[in-house]
Structure 1
Amino acid sequence: MDTKEKRDSSSIEEGIAESRVVQTNPQYHFEVHDLDRVQRRLKQRHVQMIAIAGTIGTGLFLGSGQALNSAGPLGALIAYALVGTVAYSSLCAVGEMTTWAPISGTFPHFAARWVDPALGFAVGWNYFYTNAISTPVEVTAAVILLTFWDSDTNHAAIYTAVICVLISLINIFGVRYFGESEFFFSIIKITLIVGLLLAGLVIDLGGGPNHDRIGFRYWKNPGAVAPLGLEPNHISLDRFLAILSVLVQAAFSFQGMELVVIAASETENPRRNIAKAVRRVFYRILVFYILGILMIGMLVAYNDPDLLRTTGTAAQSPFVIAINRAGIKVLPHIINGAIFTSAFSAGNSFLFCASRVLYGLALRGQAPRYLTYCTKNGLPLYAVLTASAFSFLSFMGVSEGSNTVFNWFVNLSTTGGFTSWFVMNVTYIFFRRGLLAQGYDPKKNSYNNNWQPYVAYWGAGWTLFFILINGFTVFWDFNAAGFLTAYINIPIFLVLYFGYKIVKRTKMWKPMEMDFVTGIPTPEETELPEEPPRNIGEKIAAVVF
């Protein structure tokens, strides 16, 4: 690998190091200024709201009921808390790398730049198809939610077409329209979650029309942890397996949390705004996910027959079940409408992620060159159109004969997310090692987690564990389709990695070969001076956004 070392008093952060390594081999595509034409149009309020609620979809509102039914209130809480720490560790890792290098391509490029070009190629395409497949999953969920009001199955194809076109148009209009739409949808989601938590607390304390004080009744009877049924003669083991079974379900709820860093190259003041957004995600996990799971475990028993209904609408939400039991009739319709916007928003976000990662791969020569085309407004049009085409796979959900294949897509997207999280943490470990070897101080970066690199070790270890055990239940009642769905992503990823490595003859970067400078804008180029709030309205906005 061709490298050149320069000694200079200036670096990506002034005063961090006196020497820097620059890769001079053009095959690695580190300098892409002539091709990268996206524009920084996402404002601070867009970034903060996307970070707080951007990819919250049906996984939290509807999937949490399945988690409660499978593992019980304590089991679901443990599973969501564990996956939450892993998701947060992955976001901390990629957040720190992104504030160092807020450029197109995000973590697949970081993997190629600081670990191995073959790893960047493999995880880039893995992340692309994971998000591309997640888009039709959310479109289908949105269509099913509409059956809450319109049960005529003949209308499903029409609803699917309309939603696909709307999601595609929002992304085609450009990142500013995407930012405004996600800002609006995020407000709805936050309002819904806060409202459900407050309503749930009132119902639990006996404030509903039936004045039934629930408390922690269901933690005692039928119990805190549900048995899975795989090992009925070993009840403790069976309950442990129940918790493991919920991990993949929980992961689907957290998937896409890294959206805020994917948009770094199109964000105003990316280092400051992304650093602030990553810090706030911890509270999002604590309030929205952990308190949400705790609340539904208090409101509904894990063996409630209504939890077994897979309607796909608000009717299967634990919150709606509790609200109906309390005698409140109007809220379910409002909740279903809000969950619909969440599904639409999540599909919108997954499409954005897929298009931007595909664009980043093209910039680095790891995808067809025509995908680098941008309009004069900075829209990677061909990448967006390519990603948009996948949304029409949602028509498979309309046909009963295609449901099996479509369910494979659902599981593949979730397990592919584990692989992406694993690579984020591994890449950070290499990134930090290279920084220290070349004399940079990670603490002088715009964002730095004081617990690193241990947070990255935690995330890498657990995601590898999740990848290996996510389909463990198939071994109790083996079937080829279930095994394939759970583990097909592993050979796909390995074929991508070793295929590129063999063809391109790539090697892993040594710490003193890593390039932390080429093609990376300095803080002076990306950050504008922060203006202090001038009135009470701006002070409130500064706290919220």
Structure 2
Amino acid sequence: MSRQPLKQPGSLRPDSKSGSLHSNYGAVRADHIESLDGNQDESNTKPKGGLHRGLSARQVQMIAIAGTIGTGLFLGTGRSLARGGPASVLICYCIVGFVVYVTLLLLGEMATQYPVAGSFNAYATRFFSPSYGFALSWNYWFNDAVSVASDLTAAQLLLQYWTPWHSWVISLVFWAFLVGINSIHVRAYGELEYWLSSLKVATIIVFIIVGILVNVGVNPEHQYIGGSNWRIPGAPFVNGFGGFANVFVTASFAYGGTESLGITAGETKNPSRNMPRIVKFVFWRILIFYVISILLIGLNVPWDYPNLSNKSAATSPFTIIFEKVGTTVAASFMNTVVMTSVLSAGNHALFAGTRVLYGLASTVPPQAPQIFARTTSRGIPLPALLLTSSISVLCFGSSFIGSGELWGWLQNLVGVSNQIAWFSIGLASWRFRKAWKRQGRSLDELKFRASWTWPWGPPFVIFAVAAMIIIQGWSSVIPKFTAVDFISFYIQIPTMLIMFTIWMLVKRPGSQSSDTNQAQFPETSAGGVARPPVIKRMWYSDLVDIHSVDLYRDEHVEGEDDKADDQTRATRIQAGGVKGFIWRLYYVAA
């Protein structure tokens, strides 16, 4: 198949099958991302500023870990254990972990081929439906913004381990710190995440060792624990099927953030090499950390441990296990590390939410006010950062309803948003793969392909995630309907439908917005004759036509910086002796 000339982002062209109007929605304009050296096109249409590709592979891999190994693992597992029991927690986290791993492979294919800011939101818009992409993007932005509030609330809960003093102060201090870091430069964010994440990884390794020792008898009672906590009354499945189903949303909250690997694609050096490496290796590390940690938590901490999770308090199972070593100093140290992980998770959520909002404002046509596409000279979308961080005021509601209760509601909201994101990645991947095959492009042209997920991967993700969304609210309906819990589980589904409908009606052919768009981008037929005006309709389908969607636009082409990076890597690996061995170890680990 001969390569077609590239279309300009945002250009309109007729649908080859139906003749209806289509636009190149979805990806952030290429002129909104500039290289590290700051070189810019001299075109008059080039906006000032833009995102910088300032994140190295080392930082991006740790960002993925930092976004996933955080509040959900260190604190959320306690809530899961209290509600579902040790067997439910272990089984649900394994199931969700596998679904997320497949989802990450699907995202990796698209993110490597089209490393644009906005990531899976842009892919859903581009390959599935602009209206759906609009609803998804705003939902995911809200997810990240609420995640920051959730992490700040978690900080309040952790502070209560030491003192009941005004815990909202720690939220205010953390908020100011996070906004300050994200206002400097993407490299400052990346470096902070790298070291905080390194601390978390080291801590989990120490925790695994301590957890094994505590279980075999290194505890104040000098008693072998084994699997005794799986046999206490109520265990191993607490609250029956309702408790089991309820763990799905907390597991989704814990694994959330993995999909933001794609969001960092727009600011990642040499994405053709780095994105596949990140996708293939990072999640296995995360999965190993989760499964082993959760198994040890279920063995060492009884599901009915006092203050493990209630309306006003929550205790990290990690802190509890360090208490079992017999020293409060060790427990305080672990609580401090968990506090830093909360800071890291909030930092990651604020970064991701800011980039999602920036992507919404930078698409063609824009899906958010253009002010949020503005960046500073250092590549920071400051207006988007300020709006995203402002949602964190939700965390101060803990003074009225209890930190534990508020954190539980926020956790449900974020968990469902994560599931909607994974579902949408499945939809976008399904359509992307169909378009690739229908247009006759060779699979060898894909820069990264998870071959073992063809063709079952996308439908598996779609149906598995849909099943989780449906059944996880079981406990809010049976045996007794609880309105607040039910809303926290399902409010985002009607919200998505409302936003989808609004965008569909606003952008339908013949609407004022559509007419304005046509005036800016007049469309003609192949012979140069203007098309007749579009008849106004109340409703239309903007499902993207897989036969005509442009598969060449935004494909990453390796530049000089990418080639230099490859050459540097090859030179280091090929070096002989100890130096070459050390570099090979470094690239495997980092």
TM-score where L is the length of structure 2: 0.82
Partner in structure 2 of residue 464 of structure 1? 466
Q: Amino acid of the residue matched to residue 511 of structure 1?
A: I
Structure with higher RCO (Cα < 8 A, 6+ apart): 1
Q: What do residues 122-178 of structure 1 show as CA deviations (whole Å, max 9, x unaligned)?
A: 11001001111111110121133223233212xx33322211110111111121110
- Supply the distance in 1 between the matched residues of 2:142 and 2:464 (Cα, whole angstroms): 23
Equivalent in 172, 188, 194 of residue 161 of structure 1: 172
**Given the alignment of the two structures, is residue 32 of structure 1 paired with residue 29 of structure 2, yes or no?**
yes
Q: What do residues 46-104 of structure 1 show as CA deviations (whole Å, max 9, x unaligned)?
A: 01212233332221112212222322222211011111112222222212110010011
Contact persistence 1:88–1:281 (CA under 8 A): no
- Supply the distance in 2 between the matched residues of 1:71 and 1:206 (Cα, whole angstroms): 26
**Given the alignment of the two structures, is residue 139 of structure 1 paired with residue 174 of structure 2, yes or no?**
no
Following superposition, the deviation at residue 189 of structure 1 comes to: 0.8
Q: Amino acid of the residue matched to residue 260 of structure 1?
A: L
Partner in structure 2 of residue 329 of structure 1? 328
- Supply the distance in 2 between the matched residues of 1:353 and 1:368 (Cα, whole angstroms): 18
- Supply the distance in 2 between the matched residues of 1:361 and 1:525 (Cα, whole angstroms): 29
**Given the alignment of the two structures, is residue 543 of structure 1 paired with residue 566 of structure 2, yes or no?**
no
Q: Amino acid of the residue matched to residue 28 of structure 1?
A: N
Partner in structure 2 of residue 451 of structure 1? 452
- Structure 2 vs 1, CA of residues 209 and 10 (structure 1 numbering), >3 Å: closer, same or farther? farther
**Given the alignment of the two structures, is residue 207 of structure 1 paired with residue 242 of structure 2, yes or no?**
no
Q: Amino acid of the residue matched to residue 202 of structure 1?
A: L
**Given the alignment of the two structures, is residue 378 of structure 1 paired with residue 373 of structure 2, yes or no?**
no
Contact persistence 2:61–2:282 (CA under 8 A): no
- Supply the distance in 2 between the matched residues of 1:224 and 1:481 (Cα, whole angstroms): 27
Contact persistence 1:31–1:518 (CA under 8 A): no
Q: What do residues 274-316 of structure 1 show as CA deviations (whole Å, max 9, x unaligned)?
A: 2111111332233111111111122123334453566756xx2
- Supply the distance in 2 between the matched residues of 1:54 and 1:414 (Cα, whole angstroms): 13
Moved more, 20-29 or 196-205: 20-29
Partner in structure 1 of residue 3 of structure 2? 8
- Supply the distance in 2 between the matched residues of 1:309 and 1:406 (Cα, whole angstroms): 10
- Supply the distance in 2 between the matched residues of 1:288 and 1:404 (Cα, whole angstroms): 27
Q: What do residues 498-526 of structure 1 show as CA deviations (whole Å, max 9, x unaligned)?
A: 22112212511122111122233313477
Identity of aligned residues (%): 33
Equivalence map 1:111-190=2 (5 Å)? 111-153=124-166, 156-190=167-201
**Given the alignment of the two structures, is residue 75 of structure 1 paired with residue 88 of structure 2, yes or no?**
yes
Moved more, 86-95 or 24-33: 24-33
Following superposition, the deviation at residue 421 of structure 1 comes to: 1.2
Partner in structure 2 of residue 492 of structure 1? 495
- Structure 2 vs 1, CA of residues 260 and 267 (structure 1 numbering), >3 Å: closer, same or farther? same
- Supply the distance in 2 between the matched residues of 1:347 and 1:306 (Cα, whole angstroms): 24
- Supply the distance in 1 between the matched residues of 2:342 and 2:403 (Cα, whole angstroms): 21
Moved more, 217-226 or 486-495: 217-226
Partner in structure 2 of residue 359 of structure 1? 358
- Supply the distance in 1 between the matched residues of 2:213 and 2:319 (Cα, whole angstroms): 14
Contact persistence 2:145–2:349 (CA under 8 A): yes
- Supply the distance in 1 between the matched residues of 2:215 and 2:253 (Cα, whole angstroms): 27
Following superposition, the deviation at residue 203 of structure 1 comes to: 1.5
Q: Amino acid of the residue matched to residue 344 of structure 1?
A: L
**Given the alignment of the two structures, is residue 480 of structure 1 paired with residue 483 of structure 2, yes or no?**
yes
- Supply the distance in 2 between the matched residues of 1:312 and 1:261 (Cα, whole angstroms): 35
Partner in structure 2 of residue 88 of structure 1? 101
Unmatched segments (≥5 aa) in structure 2? 14-22, 34-49, 509-540
Equivalent in 99, 109, 112 of residue 99 of structure 1: 112
Following superposition, the deviation at residue 342 of structure 1 comes to: 0.7
- Structure 2 vs 1, CA of residues 371 and 23 (structure 1 numbering), >3 Å: closer, same or farther? closer
Following superposition, the deviation at residue 401 of structure 1 comes to: 8.3
Matched position secondary structure for 2:543: coil
Q: Amino acid of the residue matched to residue 498 of structure 2?
A: V
Q: What do residues 419-460 of structure 1 show as CA deviations (whole Å, max 9, x unaligned)?
A: 111111111010111111112234542322122232222221
Q: What do residues 388-442 of structure 1 show as CA deviations (whole Å, max 9, x unaligned)?
A: 2222332222444899777544422221221111111111010111111112234
Contact persistence 1:21–1:514 (CA under 8 A): no
Q: What do residues 190-234 of structure 1 show as CA deviations (whole Å, max 9, x unaligned)?
A: 011111111001121223454322222333444752241xxxxxx
Following superposition, the deviation at residue 470 of structure 1 comes to: 2.5
- Supply the distance in 1 between the matched residues of 2:219 and 2:152 (Cα, whole angstroms): 34
- Supply the distance in 2 between the matched residues of 1:422 and 1:428 (Cα, whole angstroms): 10
- Supply the distance in 2 between the matched residues of 1:380 and 1:308 (Cα, whole angstroms): 37
Bigger Rg, structure 1 or 2: 2
Moved more, 186-195 or 385-394: 385-394
- Supply the distance in 2 between the matched residues of 1:146 and 1:317 (Cα, whole angstroms): 11
Q: Amino acid of the residue matched to residue 498 of structure 1?
A: T
Contact persistence 2:152–2:346 (CA under 8 A): yes
Contact persistence 1:371–1:380 (CA under 8 A): yes
Partner in structure 2 of residue 503 of structure 1? 506
TM-score where L is the length of structure 1: 0.88
Partner in structure 2 of residue 437 of structure 1? 438
Matched position secondary structure for 1:542: helix
Partner in structure 2 of residue 307 of structure 1? 308
- Supply the distance in 2 between the matched residues of 1:402 and 1:73 (Cα, whole angstroms): 24
- Supply the distance in 1 between the matched residues of 2:407 and 2:333 (Cα, whole angstroms): 29
Partner in structure 2 of residue 414 of structure 1? 415
**Given the alignment of the two structures, is residue 527 of structure 1 paired with residue 527 of structure 2, yes or no?**
no
- Supply the distance in 2 between the matched residues of 1:304 and 1:158 (Cα, whole angstroms): 28
Contact persistence 1:22–1:517 (CA under 8 A): no
Contact persistence 2:398–2:406 (CA under 8 A): no
Q: Amino acid of the residue matched to residue 32 of structure 1?
A: R
Partner in structure 2 of residue 15 of structure 1? none
Contact persistence 1:22–1:515 (CA under 8 A): no
Equivalence map 1:391-430=2 (5 Å)? 391-400=392-401, 408-430=409-431
Partner in structure 1 of residue 257 of structure 2? 256
